[in-house]
Structure formats: C-alpha cells, structure tokens
Amino acid sequence: MELSVKEERFAWKLVAPTIILLLLLILYPVIYNIYISFFDVGITSMKFVGLENYKRILSDKDFWRSFFITISFTLLTVVGSILLGLIVALMMNKDFKGRRIMRTIILLPYITPLISVVFSWHYIFDPSLGPFVEFFGRKLGLISTDIDLLNNINNAFIVVSVFNIWRNFPFVYLMILSKLQSIPSELYEAAEIDGANAWRKFTNVTLPELYFVIAAVGLLRGIWNFYKFDEVYLMSKSAGTLPIFIYERVIGTTSPEFGVAAAIATILMVVMMVLIGFYVKKVLKW
C-alpha cells in the first residue's frame, strides 16, 4: 500500500469519532426537527399535516414582526459591539500607566456569569427598590420617580441591544487587540516616512490588517446573536426576538406547538445558511 493512501486512511480514522459524534448530536436532531415540522404534534397525538405549519408561520404577522426585530437586533448589536470593541482595543494598544489592570477590568462584563449581571441590572434600575431611581429621582429630582427603564415594553429593544453590546464588546476587543499587537511596527514607520497622519495610518495600515479579524468576529457574533435566547429572555422578554417567540410556543405554554416551533427553527436554519453563505463569499472572500 502506498504511503499516501495509508496516511489518508489514518487521517480518516482520527476524525471518525468526531464525525460520528457530530452526526449523532447535530445531524440527527436537525433531521428529526425537519421531520416533525410536517406534523401537528400535540401532547397526545401526532398528525401529518404536510406544509400546513409552514403556511401558518409564514402568514403569521407576529412571526414577521419577530423576524425583523431579530434582524435589527443582530445588525445593531454586531455593529455596536465591533465599533466599541475596536475603539477600546485601539486605546488599550497605547502604553499608559495602569494599562494591565484596565485590560482585566474591561473583560469583566464578558466573564461575569450572565445571571448575576442581569440580576444586578434589574436591581439597580428597579423603580421602587433600586438605587438608580432612589438617587437620581428621589434625591436629586433629575428623573421621574416612576420610570421603569428595563421592563417598560417601549424600551425593551433598546435595553436588550445596549446590554448585549455592553456584555459582548470585550470579546471583540480581545480578538482585535491580539491582532493589533501583531501588526509589525515597520508598516507604521513606512507610512510615516510617506507622510501619513494618524488617520491615514489607521485607514491604510490598521484597518486593512484588521479586516479579516473583524469580518470573522462579525460572523461569529452574528450567528450567536441571531439565536440569542438567554440574555434577551432574562433582560426583557418583551423584546420579542425569534428565539423567545419559539420558546413561548413550546415551553412557556400549556398547549405546546412542537410542529410549528420545528417549522420556525427550520426556516431560521435556512435563512441563516443563506446569510452565512453570502457573508463568507462576499466578506470573508473564502
């Protein structure tokens, strides 16, 4: 047997456990999910209904509302956390006293357990029990004493977006900072010799160097936030993104509609695959 054939076989053997696990843990649920999306699944019955679930969902205006909220949420938070992460990374790339401790502090929102952060936010902004309204409202009289920033359904989208950006920018910052530190200083020196000012150095050296990091981080954050459930649900359920929409159809109800939820999940998967395919081709240029 030729060496290359042997090596190839060996390689397959090495990846086989991973592939089997992936098939079991990912492919099977995905296929089962697609399968039940064609059924009306009640607590006692399972009836084949063909494309009925899809028809119902695609003609449900609450679904489309949630869909566009989710798209806006994803766009806003991805762009927001990248911008904030980029600015902070650029600042932290400069040498100054206390830089090391600052670098650690910046990571805190990302590494603190979500549930404790959410509870702190809810406590701080609670209009009757929390210190925010107590101080700015009742002590200083700057704001109304009955303002419920976090829960009011008119604020829900903004609150959830701001929270997500705040919580996740350290991840972006970390990725960008590590790339920043590997940009050779010769590039900047050469640019300086050519008479480039700080802004030109940023647009002509830093940004092109960061392009793929930012694009990759954008992709990851986009996927995560499109399916984001925990942060949105815990912060403000009334934000009404799609994962919450699905949850309310299945778990938080006494009449779970598994078939409909499976249909939504399948639709989301298709949408996501198209978007990712487009992104990878156009932005990441793979």
Which stretches of the chain bind other proteins, using CB under 8 A?
A: 41-44, 46, 126-129, 134, 138, 145-148, 151-154, 237-238, 248, 250-256, 258
Which residue's structure tokens are 């996740």?
168
Comparison of 81 and 161: residue with beta carbon closer to other proteins: 161
Comparison of 201 and 237: residue with beta carbon closer to other proteins: 237
CA dihedral 204, 209, 214, 216 (to 10 degrees): 140
Asked whether the CA dihedral 248, 254, 260, 265 is positive or negative, the reply is positive
CB atoms within 10 A of CB 1: 6
CB of residue 233 vs other proteins: minimum separation in angstroms?
13
Comparison of 76 and 133: residue with beta carbon closer to other proteins: 133
CB of residue 157 vs other proteins: minimum separation in angstroms?
13
Structure tokens at 123: 């406590």
Comparison of 138 and 200: residue with beta carbon closer to other proteins: 138
CB of residue 237 vs other proteins: minimum separation in angstroms?
7
Beta-ladder partners of 39? 48
Comparison of 33 and 238: residue with beta carbon closer to other proteins: 238
- Which run of H or E residues covers position 200? helix 198-201
CB of residue 34 vs other proteins: minimum separation in angstroms?
16
Distance between CA atoms of residues 103 and 99, nearest Å: 6
Which residue's structure tokens are 């704001």?
143
CB of residue 224 vs other proteins: minimum separation in angstroms?
24
Distance between CA atoms of residues 221 and 174, nearest Å: 13
Distance between CA atoms of residues 120 and 129, nearest Å: 12
Asked whether the CA dihedral 159, 265, 50, 252 is positive or negative, the reply is negative
CB of residue 24 vs other proteins: minimum separation in angstroms?
17
Burial of 251 (0-12, 13-18, 19+ CB in 10 A): exposed
